[in-house]
Structure 1
Amino acid sequence: MKKKRTFKNIFENALFLPLYVLVRHLPRKAALWLGAGFGRLLGRFMSSKRRIATNNMAKAFPELSEAELRQRINAMFVHIGKSVMEMLRLDLFRKTDLGDIFHVKGLENLQQAYDCNRGVIVLSGHVGFWEVGTFLFPMLGFPFDFVGKRMKNPLADRFITRLRESAGGRCIDSKSGARKVLKSLNEKRGVAVLIDQHRSSREGVAVPFFNRPAMTTPIISRLAMKYQIPVVPVFSYRTADDNYDVEIQPMFFLQDEPESSVEENTALLTSIIEEAIRKDETQWLWLHRRWR
């Protein structure tokens, strides 16, 4: 098994490195044009993933016709392709891009949460350009970390981690769990946690998500309730001209009271993510097997 993984890593690296070099030498608009084409190819040849995405969206939005579903799934794959290109260029963004490419609304909400001096939990999901916080908030002067899953390919993982940390944020391995997240919060840092992916029954709790039960990590609820950490929802949407609207919503606290359970608060957080997805359903990762 280890030998198979090694050969697979070599093959993946042979594809990844030339793409990485090419994308970083192209102008941003050309890279995004390439990404759109890459996304269309993914949509055409990843038939099993396309079926999963179509089935998921059909159940979440039963009012959509087959033609409407097809159009939205096509748009999702284009969005994914463009996001891959942006990911490979993360460290090329500069502060001057904050007004030109990234339009931030509600920055005062994040500042208010930091002023509580307890650390900040940033709630988000795989909506729009979800990597935005890894460089945007450190650039704006906010100490910031983010929870992410390490890639199986060590070379690709090193590249992506370096890109994510290029602006001064720190990547927390999701396997470290609450311990390292709490450490960052104790250092009065912000921590972004994406809670819209499946967790096993051992790790998660079942909460409604698009009218279906979905196993969800309760890490935010438990930490926010126990230590009264402010929670700030943040979502970044791609616009028609390939800029981004970054929406920072007002902070709130989760009450640690007998009538407020971890499950109820996790359901509340999940409903916020669902509402964000409904603003533009083409910008969520529907090909993930969220419901199992």
Structure 2
Amino acid sequence: MISYRLFLIFDALLMSFPHSWRKNLFISLAKIARFFAPSRNRVIRQNLDFAFSKGLGSEEYAYIESYCYRNLALNLLQVMENRHYVHDDFTRRVVFENREAVDELLSQGKGIVFVSAHFGNWEMGATALSALVTPTTSIYQEFKHSEFDPYLLESRTRHGMDLAEKNGALKHLARALKKGASVSLMIDQASNRTHGVSITFFGHPTYQSSTPAILSRKYNAPIVPLYIFSEDEEHFTIRFDDPIIVTGEEEEAIKIATQLQADSLEKAIRSRPELWFWCHKRWKSEYRGIYAG
């Protein structure tokens, strides 16, 4: 509890400074973290080699590796800033592409299964979605030190997001969709045969979570992929891809819809590879050998 109180003092002090100062501090911390994380740097390069068949140049490797840490630091800062944001802070910094398709679905009273990834400023993206488009129910993982959970919950829920802890979250997502509300899920983390279906991602057979497609089919809720981009890290564009409708025989329909989500994500990553969270072992379930050494 003492560590949490000290953190709140740090939070109050940090928020008393201008945004540019806070940003520069976190960027500096990211550079230090990269220097002291050789094993994580190795995972980034192993993922890049696997995804791009060792087709990247040394400068691209270095830039993507460096930006992974910078982007994570800016997301952590965003969690802290979201806790102090008001509605106008989002409207001032966020615009949307292809929002008309989403608004049309919402006008029909349909719940939507939004899917995204640890891509760009995902903390801004998820929170702005709930604040500016429609409230969503999402999943969170409890901290190892549970005293920090209320901080994260306040940062996200004050802007229209309802959060369910990962264990047992499916019933909360189902309840929201039954009521015609929307949910949001991350689809880019490692899966396995038990919790996913076989798809192709970056040219490699792998497993991806089938939860979005299962929920979509059961509750007649279209799947809408979304990604957040920025050119200056200050102003953001949330791009909605075209809705994915789950139709046909159940097993095959689930697989097709999940593959379409993977294709959407891969396209976004290829367009801006530095924005994805390359430092997690995405392919560990099927290709454990790529992380050897």
What is the TM-score normalised by the length of structure 1? 0.88
The within-5 A match list for 1:130-209 is: 130-140=122-132, 142-209=134-201
Segments of 5+ residues of structure 1 without an aligned counterpart are 1-8
What residue is the counterpart of 1:96 in the other structure?
Answer: 88
What residue is the counterpart of 1:29 in the other structure?
Answer: 20
Work out the CA distance in 2 between the residues paired with 1:259 and 1:176: 23
What is the SS of the residue equivalent to 1:96? helix
The within-5 A match list for 1:207-218 is: 207-218=199-210
Residues 232 and 291 from structure 1, CA distance in 2 versus in 1: closer, same or farther, beyond 3 angstroms? same
Show CA shifts across 1:222-274 (max 9, x none). Answer: 11123321111111123225321111223231113368342232122111111
Work out the CA distance in 2 between the residues paired with 1:287 and 1:63: 18
Q: Does 1:129 align with 2:127?
A: no
What is the SS of the residue equivalent to 2:160? coil
Segments of 5+ residues of structure 2 without an aligned counterpart are 285-293
Residues 172 and 99 from structure 1, CA distance in 2 versus in 1: closer, same or farther, beyond 3 angstroms? same
What is the TM-score normalised by the length of structure 2? 0.88
What is the SS of the residue equivalent to 1:140? helix
Residues 290 and 199 from structure 1, CA distance in 2 versus in 1: closer, same or farther, beyond 3 angstroms? same
Work out the CA distance in 1 between the residues paired with 2:188 and 2:50: 17
Work out the CA distance in 1 between the residues paired with 2:106 and 2:6: 42
- RMSD in angstroms over aligned alpha carbons? 2.2
CA shift, 1:107, in A, is 2.2
Greater Cα shift, 236-245 or 64-73? 236-245
Paired-residue identity, %: 21
The within-5 A match list for 1:252-267 is: 252-257=244-249, 260-267=252-259
What residue is the counterpart of 2:283 in the other structure?
Answer: 291
Asked if 2 retains the 8 angstrom alpha-carbon contact of 1:134 and 1:165, the reply is: no
Structure 1 segments of 4+ aligned residues over 6 angstroms from their partners: none
CA shift, 1:14, in A, is 7.6
The within-5 A match list for 1:9-88 is: 13=4, 16-61=7-52, 62-88=54-80
Residues 176 and 19 from structure 1, CA distance in 2 versus in 1: closer, same or farther, beyond 3 angstroms? same
Asked if 2 retains the 8 angstrom alpha-carbon contact of 1:207 and 1:215, the reply is: yes
Select which of 221, 243, 250 maps to 1:251.
Answer: 243
CA shift, 1:18, in A, is 4.9
Work out the CA distance in 2 between the residues paired with 1:257 and 1:163: 41
